[in-house]
Structure 1
Amino acid sequence: MLEEIAISGLGVIEDAAAEFHDGFTVLTGETGAGKTMVVTSLHLLAGARGDADRVRAGADRAMVEGRFRLTDAAGEVLEIIDSTGAQRDDDDTVIASRTVNSDGRSRAHLGGRSVPVGVLGQFTTNLLTVHGQNDQLRLVQSDHQRDALDRFGGKSVAKAFAAYSAAREVWIAAVDHLELRRKNSRELAQEADRLRYALDEIDAVDPAPGEDAELAATVNRLGDLEAVRSVAAGAHAALNGASDGGLDSETASALDLLGQVRNLLESSSEPTLRGLLGRVGEALSVVSDIGEELGAFLADLPADASELEKVLVRQAELKNLIRKYAPDIDGVIAWRDQARARLSEIDDSSVSIEALESAAADAAAAVATAAATLTEARTKAAATLSTKVTKELAGLAMKDASLGVTVAPDESGDNDPRRLQIGGRYLHAGAGGVDRVEFTLAAHSGAVAMPIAKSASGGELSRVMLALEVVLAGPGGGSTMVFDEVDAGVGGAAAVEIGKRLAILARSHQVIVVTHLPQVAAFADHHLLIGKSTTAKSVKSTVTLLDRDARIAELARMLAGLGDSDTGRAHAEELLSTAQAQKEDA
């Protein structure tokens, strides 16, 4: 429930505030006083686009604050409060605010916390429904008529619609995948050929991890084979005394000399000398190991330089792979593994065109089944909605009028990308289903029912919208419904009936109405006057709660501009008394 609203810098309103109560509150005032700005402020709280041209001339920004009572609020509202960290006041109310700067930038706050405008809109939409004059124009559109039917259908339609949406999403993905596969089949075949050629080339060489680095070291070694062999042999002879090392055969080897040192130390009884025996033993062990490694190195060296040619050929093969596929052989091996995985995807029979065609057909069948269920639920709801709205119209001075709600298949053209065959027909499987919902109106008995876009006058359209909103609102209370000149194009007895129906609706909902008709205003529980004061430089608006005397004066003005005359006041007082009596009787 909306308790208070404060507006500043919005249109003609410099600063204004109003309190709202349970029941039926009416807002009236002269043209240009700012009634529409009050509705605009509520639209801003509901997440509507904030246009910079709404900001009052000379003001830096426009600001709207609304205080909402959360008692009996829906679970969605409480979830938003918890998820945003919004703070409630001690009286279980929360303040929602929206600012629009003169440069067009907009900010939103909920319970003292900054929130996205969309989140603010979600919060207020659960508490506040604003119906402006544009809603009457939208009512003639098929999509909005379908949405109204779905709202009325409740859980049964919502469940069927959710199933249809899920099935349609799967179907679209399957069809898109199939079309993409068909479109890219030639490219995929070419890619597969390239991958196979590359894999054959790499597999023919069969590189080993790190082989390129090993071959580079081998090439360096074999490039000066005799010099390397001479150095290794000389070092080996020096350690082991081999005669092929280029040394004098009579020259003692390192091992022989170390052996002599060990023997001499062992023959001594001097503790210091004998203490060196351990280190000499270690030296013997190290020298012996080095000698063995040098021997193994010499044994691995090729007998002649012809081995270098073989290594160079192998190195050229590896370099060719590196030039084509990766910076090194390890990268080539990784590329090969990825290529095999990709080729497996392309060649995988599970994603062949035949399999995709089968999946798309199955998905289409699932959508058709879900669509039929949704159509059935809508058709059932349409009959009930038609009956209830027609009954409401009878109470709005359209006694013999009847509203029809038809649910027809939405035929599809040949070039429709979302074309689906259902029951022998090709239908457009849109986001809203395969149905075309249309409201028709027979204004009186015997009249041919025609689409409301063609047959309803402005006054009739206003009453159809009000009747529809009354039916959609249901008996449950707690929400706030705002109507901006819902009585446009209406007068006389019809205006009285609209006022009476709004008063009845206000027993279960908070109803706020902007009107120019005294017959409607007279039925209100609370009357707010939007006034204006004009100076040479600006126009300022004020909001005043009227007592009975002031209310009679305002009704007299609305009747014929006779607020100061006895006749006008008498007429207004009679209208107010009659309306209050009829409201109580209703």
Structure 2
Amino acid sequence: MLTGLRLSSLGVIGSAEIEPAAGLTAVTGETGAGKTMIVTGLGLLLGGRADAGAVRRGADRAQVEGVFTGLGPVAGRLDELGAETDDGELIVTRRVRSTGGSRAWLGGVPVPLGVLGPITGELATIHGQSEQIRLGTPERQREVLDAAGGPELARALARYRVDFEERRRVVAELDERTRHARERAQEHDMLALGLEEIAAVDPQPGEDARLAVQAERLQGLDDLRMLAASAGHALSGADDGDDDDPGALGLIGRARTQVHRMADTDAQAGPLAAQLDQLAALVQDAAVDLAGYLADLDADPALLETVTGRRAALAGLTRKYGADVDGVLAWARDAAERLRDLSGDDERIEQLRARRAELDAALAERAGRIHALRAAAAERLMRDAGAELAALAMPNARLLLELEPLPEPGPYGADQVRLLFSANPGQSPAPLSRVASGGELSRVRLALEVVLAGGEEGHTFVFDEVDAGIGGQVALEVGRRLKRLAAHAQVIVVTHLAQVAAFADSHLVVTKSTDGRVTSSDVRRVEGAEREAEIARLMAGTASEVALRHARELLARAAEG
């Protein structure tokens, strides 16, 4: 529901603020006063095209701001956008620059028109000869028919959709497996060959790094032997016991002998003797360890060749499957998992084909049920809409809802819905969007909306020129039906007919004034005597006593329904 509308620098309106009522609101005014600017402003909020020519002369921009409540149908999408609402109210803003272009906001969040229109279009609808026909597309016609089908059809569609979505997933997987069968077979063989090659080498985690260290050590073996032998000679002295080459152990032994003699004579030399004993033990241990190290170096001369060969085998794997051995092992794990999936292709394809056949049968049955429910709903809708059209002085009008089979079932069943209309006897029904007469088209829309109003509780309907080309008793019927529609929804009608305006719960008048250079318009609510005067003006062009008396009679008649 639209609870507030603010217009700034839009056409002849400098600034105006409107608070439409919950029921039927009539907007009247003299020709050229700017009534259509209200419809234009609402159209901008619903994502309509922005025309720089609509900006008031002398202003750099026009702005329209609307406040909507009853946000249930769009609450989820507003949350996704991060749009702010205040006590269930949503502020929608559209700004048009005089130099061209526009911007839009939903709840303070900037949005493109492609987002704005679909959301606000769920809250309000404009019917006018220059606006897009709400029921002009097969998709929308199907939605309307499905809404007329009630809860039973809604449940049938929900069950159908579950099976349809599963079938879509099954077909997608089946297509992927069968379309790429050759590629998948080639991938299977490649992975199997790779895993066999890796298994033959049997690499271990981190093995390449450990072998690199070992190879570096083995490659310097001769240098290590020479250094170890030299160090051993320095510690132990000559192998033949040459007194001239005693080594560190011999020299320390001589020092120990002398210091122990000193300690026998002088107790203060005792600690020195103890230190030399410790030093001799440490050097002896080092000499033994060094001899063992040298012996190990000579233990396996062929080890370097073995390590080199192993490293070459690992390098063959890392060139193909990973940057290092750990990468190769990770590839092997992933390949084994993928191979299991590829190995079950034939079995999986048969399972998918069987499931597709089951779902095709289920969908055909469900689509048949949906078709029957739609046919019944279409019959009721055509009958009720026909009665409304007859009351609107179109007794020969025919409204047809055709159900044509789709080439294959879609997400909403197997039917394509077409809304056809014929105004006169002998005239073949044609698509509603091709109806020539604007007045007839307005009444068709009105009749359908009256019939379907219960399904869109709280929706805002705006009618512009719904009374084009009519008058007298037909105008009264239009007003009466707008009033009926307003029992379930908010209705705003821009009209020049007193018979329509008399049914309104709230009456807004657009007035214009000029200073000789610029024309300005304003919007005000009229009640009581002021409303009687406006109804009289609409009827007779003047608020004479006779016209006022007729206005009171008309208001009283409208109040009676």
Pairwise TM-score range, normalised by the shorter structure: 0.7 to 0.9
* Offset from partner CA, 1:380-400 (integer Å, 9 cap, x none): 433333343333334323456
Matches of 1:536 and 1:262 in 2, distance apart?
A: 133
* Offset from partner CA, 1:489-519 (integer Å, 9 cap, x none): 4344322211122233334543210123343
Matches of 1:512 and 1:429 in 2, distance apart?
A: 39
- Amino acid paired to 2:416: R
Kindly tell me: are residues 141 and 478 of structure 1, through their superposed partners in 2, closer, same or farther at Cα, counting changes over 3 Å?
Answer: closer
Matches of 1:9 and 1:290 in 2, distance apart?
A: 103
Q: Contact conserved, 1:98 with 1:109, CA < 8 A, in 2?
A: no
Corresponding residue number in structure 2 for 1:104:
101
- 1:8 is displaced (CA, Å) by 0.8
Matches of 1:456 and 1:238 in 2, distance apart?
A: 118
Corresponding residue number in structure 1 for 2:508:
528
1:430 paired with 2:426, answer no
Corresponding residue number in structure 2 for 1:358:
354
Q: 1:38-57 counterparts in 2 under 5 A?
A: 38-48=38-48, 54-57=54-57
Q: 1:129-168 counterparts in 2 under 5 A?
A: 129-133=125-129, 137-168=133-164
Corresponding residue number in structure 1 for 2:363:
367
Matches of 1:239 and 1:100 in 2, distance apart?
A: 97
Corresponding residue number in structure 2 for 1:327:
323
The alignment yields a C-alpha RMSD, in angstroms, of 4.5
Q: 1:470-509 counterparts in 2 under 5 A?
A: 470-474=450-454, 478-509=458-489
Matches of 1:283 and 1:387 in 2, distance apart?
A: 120
Q: Contact conserved, 1:441 with 1:456, CA < 8 A, in 2?
A: no
Equivalent position SS for 2:36: helix
Q: Contact conserved, 1:174 with 1:356, CA < 8 A, in 2?
A: yes
Provide structure 1 residue ranges, at least 5 long, that are not aligned to the other structure: 413-427
In the superposition, the TM-score normalised over structure 1's length comes to 0.77
In the superposition, the TM-score normalised over structure 2's length comes to 0.80
Kindly tell me: are residues 271 and 503 of structure 1, through their superposed partners in 2, closer, same or farther at Cα, counting changes over 3 Å?
Answer: farther
Q: Contact conserved, 2:233 with 2:247, CA < 8 A, in 1?
A: no
* Offset from partner CA, 1:147-176 (integer Å, 9 cap, x none): 111222343333333333333222223222
* Offset from partner CA, 1:255-304 (integer Å, 9 cap, x none): 99589969978988969955996997699579737844762563254554
Corresponding residue number in structure 1 for 2:429:
450
- Percent identity reads 40
Matches of 2:269 and 2:375 in 1, distance apart?
A: 113
Matches of 1:255 and 1:432 in 2, distance apart?
A: 103
Indicate the larger mover: 276-285 or 396-405. Answer: 276-285
Q: Contact conserved, 1:523 with 1:579, CA < 8 A, in 2?
A: no
Equivalent position SS for 1:487: coil
Kindly tell me: are residues 323 and 338 of structure 1, through their superposed partners in 2, closer, same or farther at Cα, counting changes over 3 Å?
Answer: same
Corresponding residue number in structure 2 for 1:585:
560
Indicate the larger mover: 475-484 or 518-527. Answer: 475-484
Equivalent position SS for 1:208: coil
Matches of 1:191 and 1:55 in 2, distance apart?
A: 64
Indicate the larger mover: 131-140 or 16-25. Answer: 131-140
1:299 paired with 2:293, answer no
Matches of 2:446 and 2:365 in 1, distance apart?
A: 35
Q: Contact conserved, 1:81 with 1:87, CA < 8 A, in 2?
A: no
Equivalent position SS for 2:413: coil
* Offset from partner CA, 1:527-577 (integer Å, 9 cap, x none): 323334467765533223345666566556656xx62596xx74x546534
- 1:405 is displaced (CA, Å) by 3.6
1:313 paired with 2:309, answer yes
- Amino acid paired to 1:325: Y
Corresponding residue number in structure 2 for 1:415:
none
Matches of 2:268 and 2:368 in 1, distance apart?
A: 108
- Amino acid paired to 2:154: A
- Amino acid paired to 2:406: E
Q: 2:441 aligns with which of 461, 465, 477?
A: 461
Equivalent position SS for 1:474: helix
- Amino acid paired to 2:486: A
- Amino acid paired to 1:212: D
Matches of 1:492 and 1:257 in 2, distance apart?
A: 137
Corresponding residue number in structure 1 for 2:209:
213
Q: Contact conserved, 2:236 with 2:287, CA < 8 A, in 1?
A: no
Corresponding residue number in structure 2 for 1:25:
25
- Amino acid paired to 1:87: D
1:14 paired with 2:40, answer no
Corresponding residue number in structure 1 for 2:165:
169
Q: How many residues align?
A: 554
Kindly tell me: are residues 496 and 320 of structure 1, through their superposed partners in 2, closer, same or farther at Cα, counting changes over 3 Å?
Answer: same
Matches of 2:480 and 2:15 in 1, distance apart?
A: 33
Equivalent position SS for 1:139: coil
- 1:341 is displaced (CA, Å) by 2.7
Q: Contact conserved, 1:554 with 1:563, CA < 8 A, in 2?
A: no
- 1:466 is displaced (CA, Å) by 1.1
Matches of 1:275 and 1:539 in 2, distance apart?
A: 120
Matches of 2:159 and 2:56 in 1, distance apart?
A: 48
Q: Contact conserved, 1:4 with 1:17, CA < 8 A, in 2?
A: yes
Matches of 1:12 and 1:431 in 2, distance apart?
A: 47
